[in-house]
Amino acid sequence: MVIVKAQEGIKLSINQNLEKLSNACGVTGRENEVRELMTRLMTPYADEILVDKLENVIAIKKGKEKSPKIMLAAHMDEVGLMVKTITKEGFLQFTKMGGIDDRILPAQKVTVLSRKGALSGIIGSKPPHIQKEEERKKIIAFDELFIDIGAESKENVTSLGIAIGDPVAFDIKYTRLGEDVAVGKAFDNRAGCVTMIEALKLMEKTDFTICAVGTVQEEVGLRGAATAAFGVDPDLAIALDVTIAGDVPGVREFDTSVKMGKGPALTISDSGLITPPKVLRWLIDAAEEEKIPFQIESGLLGSTDAARIYLTRQGILSGNISIPTRYIHSPVSMLTLRDIENSAKLTVAAIKRISRYF
Ligand SMILES: [Zn+2]
């Protein structure tokens, strides 16, 4: 564990935090820019900040001695791409980092993060005009696509500082649509990161010890959460993440009834966690008693850091508070700021009630 020197912290609003964090790049395994930002944004509300060996960042708010320890977890990484080969003509072929649908890749604007800095490019493919009839009906797989940075040759690419292994992020700038709706990159899971910062802000004094963890490599198998949970060894944990908002054409109520703007979602079960009934009761009671809107979801595919934390040591009671978000795992997603605010309020309301349940 390394104690991060208390550098200058910054206090911002939900909107400002989301803008900063969404515009930052943290493709899985290369979360440094987001981690540095998270450190600064959590500093004003933490007694101590640590970084562990996998480079999870842990902000600690100390409670009374021997009081229960609660871990909040929000993953800092985002789905993206990684440079795999550089062709002699100067095109970058890539691999995917995390679950991305190949159909949304062509013609996207991207940022290649080389050791000399960020470079813009677009994802190119064979033009439709010269595709055969059958080819046009097929999904173009990612390994037939390439990133075009306008270079002339492999030498040209390497002279710009680009190397195999460089992370590539989608290039979408944060935008507001009206008062409450935001669109941007990587809301999965910068929305959870913002919720965590906001919860620390709202918490002020607490008897319990809070460990707010920005985790790494969630999108490739909940890896950071595994070591962070072992190290923190909490009594209880809540993962703050996004969930699919199904309120768009073509989604059946059966698949999900969660809607954007209607409050945080509480998960009964997903593919990694059956939330312990006691944990679910605790979260639902907190929402009901403080009149915070919430939604229930169950039978989801996919999982969150909570699934991994739950299986740590002899088992750690864990649950999820999720922000309904449209179009996750695509280059751009959409959510409402009030869902983030309510998720933070619910986190704090639940923490206040811990001794009644555990
Ligand atoms: Zn996520």
Q: Which of 267, 246, 270 is CA-nearest to residue 320?
A: 267
340 Cα–ligand 1 center, Å: 14
- 184: buried, middle or exposed (CB in 10 Å: 19+, 13-18, 0-12)? buried
Residues 236-273: tens digit of each pLDDT: 999 999 999 999 998 888 888 899 999 999 999 999 99
Residue pair 265/324 in contact by the 8 Å Cβ criterion: yes
Q: Which of 231, 338, 238, 223 is CA-nearest to residue 286?
A: 238
C-alpha angle with apex 60: 335 to 195, nearest 5 degrees?
Answer: 10
Residues 117-133: tens digit of each pLDDT: 999 999 998 776 777 77
Which residue has 């179009």 as its token pair?
327
200 pLDDT more than 70? yes
138 pLDDT more than 90? no
219 Cα–ligand 1 center, Å: 7
Give me the percent of the chain exceeding a pLDDT of 90.
83
Which CA distances in Å does 102 have to 139, 142, 165, 173?
A: 7, 6, 20, 21
CA atoms 181, 184, 188, 191: torsion sign: negative
Q: How confident is the model at residue 333 (pLDDT cuts 50, 70, 90)?
A: very high
User: pTM for the complete prediction?
Assistant: 0.95
305: phi then psi, degrees, rounded to nearest 5:
-55, -30
Residue pair 278/308 in contact by the 8 Å Cβ criterion: no
Around ion ligand 1, which residues have CB less than 5 A away? 188-189, 241
* Confidence at residue 6, expressed as pLDDT on a 0 to 100 scale: 57
Q: How confident is the model at residue 80 (pLDDT cuts 50, 70, 90)?
A: very high
Residue pair 245/264 in contact by the 8 Å Cβ criterion: no
d(C-alpha 200, C-alpha 323), whole Å: 17
Q: Which of 298, 271, 294, 300 is CA-nearest to residue 282?
A: 294
Residue 203 identity: M
Give me the percent of the chain exceeding a pLDDT of 70.
98
Q: Which of 351, 353, 49, 10 is CA-nearest to residue 204?
A: 351
Number of Cβ within a 10 Å radius of residue 153: 13
Mean pLDDT of the chain: 93
User: Catalytic residue numbers?
Assistant: 218
153 Cα–ligand 1 center, Å: 37
Give SS3 for 156: helix
241 Cα–ligand 1 center, Å: 5
Which CA distances in Å does 266 have to 199, 285, 346, 347?
A: 17, 12, 10, 11
